C-alpha cells in the first residue's frame, strides 16, 4: 500500500509544513502537484472555499457584463414557535431553548430591469425630479419608521407577539384593508425589526478593548427619506434601534429582513465589497494546509492497512488508490459544513439561485491564445 507514491510522503509533507509555517513557497514539486490536484478536485465540491471563490467571480462579473446591482436584500425566516413542530412532537416544547442555533437565511443581489447604468446614474442624480422619485421609492419599499416607533418607550408599549409569524395577513377584500395592513405591519416591525444588542449575538470586542455592535447599532437617524447627488441615501428613522425592512416581505413572509439600495455613493461602494465577501464567505482558514494534508494522508494509509478484503478489492488499481486518496484529502480540508447546508447539498438544492448561466474563462487560456496569435509578445516579455 505504500507504493501509492514513489516517495516518502511524511518527510516531504513535513518539509512543506515547515515552509508554510515560515510563509515560504512550497519547494517540492511533488507536494505542489498534490496540492494542485486537491484544489482542483475540491473546487467541484459544494460549499468548499474554491467553489465559493467561483461564486465571488460570478458576483463581480455580472455587473461588469450587465449593469451594477441595485438592491442587497437579506431575509431571515422564522424557525421558532412553529405550531407544526408542536403537533408532530405531541409535546409543548420551548422552541426558544430547543432551537438555539441560527437558521439559514437568504441573501439576494437584485438588478432592476431598465435601471440606469453608472454613467447615466451620475447625470440623473444631479436632477431634483429624479432624486425625488428615488426618495419616494425608498419611502415605499425600504422603510425604517412607522407611527408608534419613535422612542424606546413607545416601542415597548407595543407588545411582542412571538407567534406573529404564523398569523395570516389581512384579507385584501375587507373594507378597511389599508388600516388593517398598516396595523399588521406595525405589529410585525415591533416583533421582528427592533434590534437588541447582546453579547454572543452582535457585540464584539473592538480594537480599544470595549464592546461594539457588529451590525453598527445604534443606527443613524434621519428626519426623511433622501438621496443626494453623490448617491448617498438614507431612510427615515426616528428610533435608533429600528432595522430597516421591505414592507412587502415583512407582511407576507412575516420575518426579519433588511435591504440596501446600491447606487454610486461611497457607502454603497463599501457595501458592494462587503456583499461580495459576505455572500461568498469562505470557511475558516486551516492554519497549515500541508499539515492537514499530512494528517489526511496518514488516515488514508491507516484505513487501507486496516481494510477488509472487500476494501482491498476496491483499491487494487493505482488509479483507484489515488482517487481514494484525493477523496480523503478533500474532506480533510473541507470539514467546516453546517448541518442544514449538508442536507441542502444532499437533496440537490444547492446554496445559490442564479438568473444567468456562467462559464469560466481562465486567464491562462486567454494569455496562451494571445501569445499563439501574436508570437512577438513572447520575446517582449
Task: Write down the mean pLDDT value for the chain.
Answer: 76
| pLDDT tens-place string over residues 25-51 | 877 887 777 777 776 666 556 656 666
**This prediction's pTM:** 0.69
| pLDDT tens-place string over residues 200-240 | 778 888 888 888 888 888 999 999 999 999 888 999 999 99
Rounded-to-integer distance, Cα 23 and Cα 19, Å: 6
The reported pLDDT for the residue numbered 81 is: 56
- Higher pLDDT pick, 124 / 299: 124
**What would the grid cell of residue 150 be?**
419613535
The reported pLDDT for the residue numbered 163 is: 79
Whether residue 361 has pLDDT greater than 90:
no
Q: Are 15 and 28 in contact (CB under 8 A)?
A: yes
What is the rounded (10 degree) CA torsion for 212, 216, 218, 221?
150
Residue 274, domain member (yes or no): no
pLDDT band at 185; cut points 50, 70, 90: very high
Residue 359, domain member (yes or no): no
220 and 137 within one domain:
yes
Pick from 196, 194, 197: nearest CA to 211:
197
| pLDDT tens-place string over residues 273-294 | 777 666 666 555 544 555 556 6
pLDDT band at 142; cut points 50, 70, 90: very high
The reported pLDDT for the residue numbered 300 is: 61
Share above pLDDT 90 across residues of the chain, in percent, rounded to a whole number:
25
| pLDDT tens-place string over residues 363-379 | 888 888 888 888 888 76
Mean pLDDT for 186-209 is 87
Give the residues across from 227 on adjacent strands: 233
Chain-centre distance for alpha carbon 133: 31
187 and 139 within one domain:
yes
What secondary structure does DSSP assign to 174-192, as a single string?
A: STTHHHHHHHHHHHHHHHH
Residue 365, domain member (yes or no): no
315 and 239 within one domain:
no
Do strands 211-213 and 203-205 pair parallel, antiparallel, or not at all (unpaired)? antiparallel
Give how far Cα 251 sits from Cα of 57, 66, 154, 181, 199, Å. 34, 32, 21, 8, 29
Whether residue 144 has pLDDT greater than 90:
yes
The reported pLDDT for the residue numbered 207 is: 82
Residue 85, domain member (yes or no): yes
305 and 231 within one domain:
no
100 and 244 within one domain:
yes
What secondary structure does DSSP assign to 123-179, as a single string?
A: HHTTSHHHHHHHHHHHHHHSB---TT-SSHHHHHTSPP-TTGGGSPPPPTTSTTHHH
Top-ranked range on mean pLDDT: pick from 70-74, 99-103, 323-327: 70-74
Mean pLDDT for 49-74 is 78
* Parent domain of 174: 71-265
The reported pLDDT for the residue numbered 280 is: 61
The reported pLDDT for the residue numbered 97 is: 54
The reported pLDDT for the residue numbered 324 is: 64
Query: CB under 8 Å to 303, separation ≥6 — which residues?
Result: 311, 328
198 and 306 within one domain:
no
Residue 196, domain member (yes or no): yes
Residue 5, domain member (yes or no): no
185 and 78 within one domain:
yes
Residue 54, domain member (yes or no): no
168 and 33 within one domain:
no
Q: Where are the beta strands (DSSP E) in the chain?
A: 71-76, 106-110, 203-205, 211-213, 226-227, 233-234, 256-261
What secondary structure does DSSP assign to 193-226, as a single string?
A: SB----BTTTEEE-TTSSEEETT-PSPPPBSS-E
Query: CB under 8 Å to 138, separation ≥6 — which residues?
Result: 225, 226, 227, 233, 235, 261
Pick from 293, 296, 305: nearest CA to 3:
305
Whether residue 8 has pLDDT greater than 90:
no
239 and 142 within one domain:
yes
The reported pLDDT for the residue numbered 270 is: 73
Rounded-to-integer distance, Cα 224 and Cα 16, Å: 59
The reported pLDDT for the residue numbered 200 is: 76
List the Cα angle 279/59/193 in 5-degree steps.
40
330 and 225 within one domain:
no
Whether residue 64 has pLDDT greater than 50:
yes
Give how far Cα 106 sits from Cα of 74, 143, 282, Å. 6, 19, 16
pLDDT band at 254; cut points 50, 70, 90: confident
**Sign of the CA dihedral 107, 111, 117, 120?**
negative
pLDDT band at 337; cut points 50, 70, 90: low
pLDDT band at 1; cut points 50, 70, 90: very low
Q: Are 229 and 219 in contact (CB under 8 A)?
A: no
Rounded-to-integer distance, Cα 323 and Cα 315, Å: 9
Name the domain boundary from 265, 293, 321: 265
Rounded-to-integer distance, Cα 220 and Cα 313, Å: 67
The reported pLDDT for the residue numbered 319 is: 58
pLDDT band at 2; cut points 50, 70, 90: very low
208 and 107 within one domain:
yes
- Higher pLDDT pick, 116 / 312: 116
The number of distinct structural domains making up the chain is 2
Chain-centre distance for alpha carbon 221: 27
Residue 4, domain member (yes or no): no
Whether residue 137 has pLDDT greater than 90:
yes
230 and 146 within one domain:
yes
Amino acid at each position: 500500500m505504500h507504493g501509492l507514491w514513489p516517495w516518502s510522503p511524511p518527510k516531504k509533507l513535513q518539509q512543506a509544513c515547515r515552509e508554510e509555517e515560515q510563509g515560504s513557497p512550497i519547494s517540492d514539486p511533488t507536494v505542489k502537484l498534490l496540492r494542485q490536484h486537491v484544489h482542483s478536485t475540491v473546487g467541484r465540491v459544494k460549499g468548499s472555499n474554491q467553489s465559493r471563490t467561483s461564486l465571488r467571480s460570478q458576483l463581480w462579473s455580472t455587473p461588469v457584463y450587465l449593469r451594477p446591482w441595485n438592491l442587497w436584500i437579506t431575509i431571515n425566516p422564522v424557525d421558532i414557535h412553529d405550531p407544526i413542530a408542536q403537533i408532530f412532537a405531541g409535546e409543548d416544547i420551548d422552541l426558544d431553548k430547543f432551537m438555539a442555533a441560527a437558521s439559514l437565511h437568504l441573501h439576494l443581489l437584485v438588478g432592476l430591469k431598465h435601471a440606469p447604468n453608472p454613467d447615466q446614474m451620475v447625470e440623473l442624480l444631479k436632477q431634483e425630479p429624479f432624486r425625488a422619485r428615488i426618495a419616494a421609492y425608498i419611502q415605499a419599499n425600504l422603510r425604517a419608521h412607522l407611527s408608534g416607533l419613535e422612542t424606546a418607550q413607545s416601542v415597548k408599549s407595543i407588545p411582542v407577539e412571538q407567534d406573529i409569524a404564523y398569523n395570516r395577513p389581512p384579507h385584501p377584500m375587507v373594507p378597511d384593508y389599508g388600516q388593517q395592513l398598516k396595523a399588521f405591519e406595525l405589529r410585525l416591525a415591533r416583533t421582528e425589526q427592533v434590534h437588541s444588542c447582546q453579547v454572543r449575538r452582535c457585540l464584539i470586542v473592538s480594537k480599544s478593548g470595549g464592546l461594539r455592535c457588529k451590525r453598527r447599532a445604534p443606527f443613524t437617524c434621519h428626519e426623511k427619506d433622501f438621496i443626494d447627488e453623490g448617491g448617498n441615501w438614507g431612510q427615515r428613522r426616528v428610533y435608533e434601534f429600528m432595522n430597516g425592512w421591505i414592507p412587502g416581505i415583512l407582511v407576507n413572509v412575516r420575518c426579519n429582513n433588511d435591504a440596501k439600495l446600491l447606487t454610486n455613493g461611497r457607502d454603497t461602494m463599501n457595501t458592494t465589497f462587503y456583499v461580495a465577501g459576505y455572500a461568498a464567505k469562505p470557511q475558516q482558514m486551516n492554519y497549515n494546509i500541508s499539515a492537514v494534508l499530512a494528517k489526511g494522508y496518514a488516515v488514508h494509509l491507516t484505513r487501507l492497512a486496516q481494510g477488509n478484503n472487500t476494501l482491498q478489492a476496491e483499491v487494487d488499481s493505482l488509479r483507484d488508490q489515488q482517487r481514494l486518496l484525493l477523496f480523503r484529502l478533500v474532506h480533510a480540508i473541507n470539514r467546516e459544513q453546517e448541518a442544514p447546508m449538508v442536507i441542502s447539498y444532499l437533496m440537490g438544492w444547492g446554496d445559490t439561485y442564479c438568473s444567468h448561466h456562467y462559464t469560466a474563462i481562465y486567464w491562462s487560456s486567454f494569455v496562451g491564445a494571445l501569445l499563439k496569435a501574436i508570437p512577438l509578445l513572447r520575446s517582449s516579455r
